[in-house]
Chains A and B, each alone.
Chain A
Amino acid sequence: MDDLLIAGEKFSSRLIMGTGGAPSLEVLDQALVASGTELTTVAMRRLDPGAPGSVLDVLRERGIKVLPNTAGCFTAGDAVLTARLAREALGTNWVKLEVIADERTLLPDPIETFDAAERLVADGFVVLPYIGDDPALARRLELAGCAAVMPLGAPIGSGLGIRNPHNIELIVEAASVPVILDAGIGTASDAALAMELGCDAVLLATAVTRAQRPEMMATAMRAAVQAGRLAHQAGRIPRRRYAEASSPTGP
């Protein structure tokens, strides 16, 4: 499969993993290995002196690049501070920008997200914003200097798949930066569809970490992303209302 290029950095895997929801670091480790991911997102939280082990050790051990996120932030100010702390703690200027509007839907707040994106780009960050499936906002964020855009398929953790494939296609058509389908993936066919629609990568967590067999689901997602990418590049046949014979007709 062809490489994914984000801000000049190459990845041979187009599956970006999240780490939320895993029952243990062991299960997470197995799932990450099975997924083949080379880029994985982590949250920033108050240090708990009693916490056993660290997700960072798992990523370091496996040579997976860490992508800090601003999950849990409700304002641009919070997100900017969290990104700066992540840069300091993890030594990376990459950030998955996530500014949430409310606890019930966890939908991203477009105004706060755009404000934070502008400030972080100005501060030298490689910004990957999580957004609704809004083509106009995606375009504006690209113009503001974001390195990718990450529209949702459906709300975080919902497993509802891609609720508006048409909007995802519109975002893909207009974008010159990578489009990463983020949130809403429930099963392998959702990930394949994202890639068939032309997305450059898929980010998922819950669909794997809360599956009955996370490692097996990670393997399925890896295959689905590859299949979807190949199908997109191969070019699907047009949909037709009636049959079209594939063998010669007549005597």
Chain B
Amino acid sequence: MNVTINGAPHEVPDGTTVAQAVLTLTTATTGVAVAVNDEVVTRSAWETTALGDSDRMEVLTAVQGG
């Protein structure tokens, strides 16, 4: 299935979890937050939340600014 991760298209296996998708970007587990289709997925739910076709996932962290 096709999903969008931080604005870029990705093809991932069916049943891919948020935790697995985050791992493609970073091994960090703190200082990072995830939203799928504009809803926050809390850290404790990463392993149990599966992505669906056409989902938009955003992985954010703190940077210099403001």
Chain A residues close to B by CB (< 8 Å): 18-22, 25, 28, 41-47, 49, 51, 54-56, 66, 68-69, 71-72, 77, 81-82, 84-90, 96, 98, 205
Interface residues on B, range: 20 to 34
Main secondary structure of the interface of A (DSSP, over half): mixed
Q: List B contacts of A44 (CB < 8 A).
A: 33, 60-63
A-B residue pairs, 10 tightest by C-beta: A43-B65, A89-B33, A71-B66, A69-B66, A88-B33, A85-B33, A19-B64, A42-B62, A46-B6, A20-B65
Given contacts A22-B64, A46-B58, A47-B26, contact A90 B31 (CB under 8 A): yes
Determine whether the beta carbon of A42 is less than 8 Å from that of B33.
no
Binding site for A on B (CB under 8 A): 6-7, 25-26, 30-35, 38, 40, 42-43, 58-66
B34 cross-chain contacts in A, Cβ below 8 A: 85, 88
Question: Residues of B contacting A89 with CB < 8 Å?
Answer: 30-33, 60-62
| A46→B40 contact, CB < 8 A | no
Beta-carbon contact of B61 and A54 below 8 Å: yes
| Chain B residues with CB under 8 A of A21 | 64
CB of A205 within 8 A of CB of B66, answer: yes
**Which of chain A's residues have a CB closer than 8 A to the CB of B43?**
88
B48 CB to nearest chain A CB (Å): 16
Contact (A68, B62) CB under 8 Å given A46-B6, A47-B26, A88-B43: yes
